[in-house]
Amino acid sequence: MLRIQRTLEERYTTASTDDLRQMVADAKTALGERLLILGHHYQHDDVMAFADARGDSFGLSRIAADRRDAEFIVFCGVHFMAESADVLTGPHQRVVLPDLNAGCSMADMADIEAVEDAWEALASVTDIDRVLPITYMNSAANLKAFVGRHGGAVCTSSNARAVLTWALLDQVDGRTRADKVLFFPDQHLGRNTGFDLGFTEAQMSLYNPRFELGGLDAAAVDDSALLLWKGHCSVHQRFRPEHVADFRVRNPDGLVLVHPECAHDVVVLGDVVGSTDAIIKAVEAAPSGTALGIATEVHLVNRLANEHPDKTIECLDPLVCPCATMARIDLPHLAWVLESLVDGRVPNQITVDADTASWAKVALERMLQIS
């Protein structure tokens, strides 16, 4: 999705790192309690140093929902996270994304028109009232709203298991809430969670929105408990089983920590599989001297390596691919938005229209209730 970020003034682009840090610190002091800066774990250290709260996408959505007193929430993360914060916060609160180009390529893989077409196609071959849409947090607000309207919920990498259990396994009045889930946009999180819950490969089908009925036939739809939208994260899809094998040869007693956006053949090789928060906790819990190979975004891996010098921590992808969109948030953009707020302007405000927001909130609040 194209979003236009204005070019920053020279004052920001030519300033030294020390000057930028001073600008951010001064603006933070001037804004005081009116300001809350949230930092996702994949942010640069330079930016994270100024975050009032750090978290995974689930934790940050909870914090955004709880901090009713903050007038400005500067979200150092990506667009879908800022949208979720806008949905969950009050009308007196304004959410700001320091760089509008900080999107998420995975979220962009499930656009609402394609989703609506898929829903219509499925309704022609199956009882659509027995299908629940579930979307990963990494999706646009209009997709979350679609899910809310159709009785489904949002999930994150830390609660996908609980949300799919709620949808497909819990009994309500003697039957499950749904026979099938249409899961957006990350096929890997959906498949990994499906296997974790005991579903077989034959019960999970890939729904490719480029083809009619997702490239499936009515019988395949009928046999599937999980219809997995064909989306992925290009950062996490890079991790391969041979990276794990190479790490294990060099570190026979080491621990492998894997984010569930990785492909299933990597996830099965992990000692711990979990969200960014779960990965951080596993590193903290490992005894001193442990070697840890981590399959997630490199800014987080490098930060963990610096914070735990008593452990040997490496990114499992030798080419250490960063998330290019997360990395758009940098000190010049942070200094610019904060100084603008001090001057009484609100740049890059992320707003979700009222109807979309009310339905997206239904889907987000269902998630918060389930987990």
Question: CB of 53 within 8 A of CB of 68?
Answer: no
105 contact choice in ligand 13P, ligand SF4, none (CB below 5 to 8 Å, kind-dependent):
ligand SF4
Least CB distance to ligand SF4 at residue 104 (A): 3
User: Footprint of ligand 13P on residues 180-239 (CB under 6 A)?
Assistant: 233
Contact 225, 199 (CB under 8 A): yes
Out of 277, 297, 314, 339, the residue judged to bind ligand SF4 by CB under 6 A: 297
98: nearest Cα among 336, 339, 343, 327: 336
* β 175-176/171-172 pair status: antiparallel
Q: Which one of ligand SF4, ligand 13P, none is in contact with 367 (Cβ closer than 5 to 8 A by kind)?
A: none
* Run of H or E residues at 180: strand 180-184
| CA–CA distance, 207 with 195 (Å, rounded to integer) | 17
Tell me how far apart the terminal alpha carbons of the chain are, to the nearest angstrom: 30
Q: CB nearest ligand 13P: which residue?
A: 56
The site that binds ligand 13P (CB under 6 A) totals a number of residues, namely: 10
List binders of ligand SF4 among 99-158 (CB under 6 A). 104-106, 138
- Residue 276, contacted partner among ligand 13P, ligand SF4, none, CB below 5-8 A by kind: ligand 13P
Report how far residue 127's alpha carbon sits from residue 123's, in angstroms, rounded to the nearest whole number: 6
Tokens representing residue 91 in the block? 């009308």
Residues 232-291 that bind ligand SF4 (CB under 6 A): 233, 235, 261
Q: Is 56 near ligand SF4 (CB under 6 A)?
A: no
Q: List the interface residues with ligand 13P, window 132-171 (CB under 6 A).
A: 138, 156-157
Q: Give the interface segment with ligand SF4, choosing from 120-128, 321-329, 337-345, 356-364 (CB under 6 A).
A: 321-329
Q: Which does 43 bind (CB under 5 to 8 A by kind): ligand SF4, ligand 13P, none?
A: none
Give residues with Cβ within 8 angstroms of 57, minimum separation 6: 40, 77, 81, 84, 137, 138, 156, 157, 275
Q: Distance (Å, rounded) from C-alpha 131 to C-alpha 112?
A: 17
Residue whose token pair is 């955004």:
64
Among 192, 325, 348, 356, binds ligand SF4 (CB under 6 A): 325
Site for ligand 13P contains 275 (CB under 6 A): yes
Contact footprint for ligand SF4 (CB under 6 A): 78, 104-106, 138, 233, 235, 261, 297, 323, 325-326
Contact footprint for ligand 13P (CB under 6 A): 56-58, 138, 156-157, 233, 261, 275-276
